[in-house]
């Protein structure tokens, strides 16, 4: 790029997150005559890309189509052909962060939902009973992505009693160490200024179940009715998927927002690090266990079980931690033969130890 062209690119794409680091990463594509742009929407093998010349429609066929984790997704920075009909995306730049979940298929594939995200906003509705286990699941995926999670308790206007609201916030904070928990109402504007200040820097992705109020929240942040909003069912707070694609939109106060369809299934995908960060207090207790490979079940000197017995650690948190670790192991094992063998070996070892313990117990009778 010559200096004037480079200035035009920075002027047009800076609101979408373009910076010197992205320009350096794009340099080799620049020598090939390709143009930089950011994907703001993907739909059936095609995508909308914002460039210095505006938004263009492009085909993604040239970017590895067979690996679901390497397909072009909303949030990607791409190298685009300068012309042609159709125009093609030739490559995407290495992702800084990537939000990935496992699909609901029996093939145990990963699905990338959004990339190059700075904040993962987990929307949780206060219109129904809090599901802390689901919050922890979302947080594990968010931490694993590399983004900074934020929990937003939506529909705060439905909890007018401040004491009750404070207790709900405290429950979520206990399940989200190191994460900001905000209460927001898209209806009366409560908390929107605080959230807007957080997401006004960088790119944020909005996550949550159908009926969590994501579309209403997105409209409130955008200052206009961009997203379709439908009422959630009273019985369970769930709604239909009012958002069907992932769209990247500029926020009026700065920053960009990716709205996503409601996620019914939130399966982990190789998210051991994310699980560890979500349950950081358990990892801290575990570091004090007598044995480094303590399973926190019946081993002597287990600091985790001691924390449960003393009331420092809620039983529910430990059970949720174990559940997510087991699920993650199963997912990884399906794609990693060596790990499968290691897990089988560990199961056999623990089984042998259990049988030996039972034999010792019988011998004492």
| CA nearest to 275, candidates 136, 132, 121 | 136
How many helices (H) does the chain have, and how many strands (E)?
11, 13
- Indicate whether 300 pLDDT > 50: yes
pLDDT confidence of 38, banded at 50, 70, 90?
very high
Q: 337-364 and 315-335 are packed helices; what angle lies between their axes, rounded to 10 degrees?
A: 130
Q: Are 96 and 182 in contact (CB under 8 A)?
A: no
- Indicate whether 219 pLDDT > 90: yes
Please give the pLDDT value at position 6: 79
User: Range with the lowest mean pLDDT among 30-39, 215-224, 249-258?
Assistant: 215-224
The residue-averaged pLDDT of 74-80 equals 96
The residue-averaged pLDDT of 96-111 equals 72
Interval 132-176: pLDDT, tens: 999 999 999 999 999 999 999 999 999 999 999 999 999 999 999
- Residues 172, 176, 182, 185, CA torsion sign: negative
3-class state of residue 239 by DSSP: coil
Please give the pLDDT value at position 333: 72
User: Range with the lowest mean pLDDT among 108-117, 271-280, 328-337?
Assistant: 328-337
Tokens of 296: 């926190």
Please give the pLDDT value at position 243: 45
Given the structure tokens 């995926």, which residue do they identify?
A: 141
173-184 residues labelled b (16+ CB within 10 A) or e (exposed): eebbbebebbbb
The residue ranking higher by pLDDT, 7 or 106, is 7
The residue ranking higher by pLDDT, 233 or 272, is 272
Please give the pLDDT value at position 191: 95
Q: Are 267 and 107 in contact (CB under 8 A)?
A: no
Q: How far apart are CA 198 and CA 338, in angstroms?
A: 42
Burial label, 18 (beta-carbon count in 10 A; 0-12, 13-18, 19+)? buried
Please give the pLDDT value at position 107: 53
Please give the pLDDT value at position 332: 75
The residue-averaged pLDDT of 27-39 equals 95
3-class state of residue 330 by DSSP: helix
What is the H or E stretch that residue 339 is in? helix 337-364
Give the pTM. Answer: 0.82
Across all residues in the chain, what is the average pLDDT?
Answer: 85
Please give the pLDDT value at position 92: 94
- Indicate whether 254 pLDDT > 60: yes
């Amino acid at each position: 790029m010559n200096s004037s062209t480079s200035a035009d690119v920075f002027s047009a794409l800076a609101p979408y997150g373009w910076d010197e680091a992205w320009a350096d990463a794009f340099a080799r594509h620049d020598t090939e005559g390709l143009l930089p742009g950011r994907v703001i929407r993907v739909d059936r093998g095609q995508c909308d890309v914002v460039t210095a010349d505006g938004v263009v429609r492009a085909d993604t066929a040239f970017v590895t189509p067979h690996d679901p984790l390497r397909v072009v997704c909303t949030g990607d920075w791409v190298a685009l052909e300068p012309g042609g009909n159709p125009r093609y995306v030739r490559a995407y730049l290495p992702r800084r962060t990537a939000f990935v979940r496992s699909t609901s298929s029996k093939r145990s594939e990963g699905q990338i939902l959004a990339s190059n995200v700075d904040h993962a906003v987990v929307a949780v509705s206060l219109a129904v009973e809090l599901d802390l286990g689901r919050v922890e699941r979302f947080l594990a995926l968010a931490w694993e992505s590399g983004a900074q999670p934020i929990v937003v308790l939506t529909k705060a206007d439905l909890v007018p009693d401040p004491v009750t609201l404070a207790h709900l916030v405290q429950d979520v904070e206990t399940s989200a160490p190191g994460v900001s928990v905000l209460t927001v109402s898209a209806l009366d504007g409560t908390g929107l200024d605080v959230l807007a200040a957080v997401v006004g820097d960088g790119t944020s992705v909005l996550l949550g179940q159908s009926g969590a109020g994501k579309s209403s929240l997105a409209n409130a942040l955008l200052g206009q009715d961009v997203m379709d909003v439908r009422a959630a069912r009273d019985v369970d707070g769930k709604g239909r998927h009012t958002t069907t694609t992932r769209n990247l939109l500029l926020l009026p106060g700065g920053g960009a927002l990716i709205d996503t369809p409601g996620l019914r299934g939130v399966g982990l995908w190789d998210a051991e690090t994310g699980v560890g960060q979500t349950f950081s207090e358990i990892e801290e207790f575990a570091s004090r266990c007598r044995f480094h490979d303590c399973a926190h079940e019946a081993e002597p000197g287990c600091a985790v079980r001691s924390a449960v017995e003393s009331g420092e650690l809620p039983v529910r948190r430990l059970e949720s931690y174990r559940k997510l670790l087991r699920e993650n192991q199963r997912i990884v094992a399906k794609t990693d033969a060596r790990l499968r063998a290691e897990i089988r070996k560990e199961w056999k070892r623990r089984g042998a130890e259990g049988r030996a313990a039972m034999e010792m117990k019988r011998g004492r009778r």
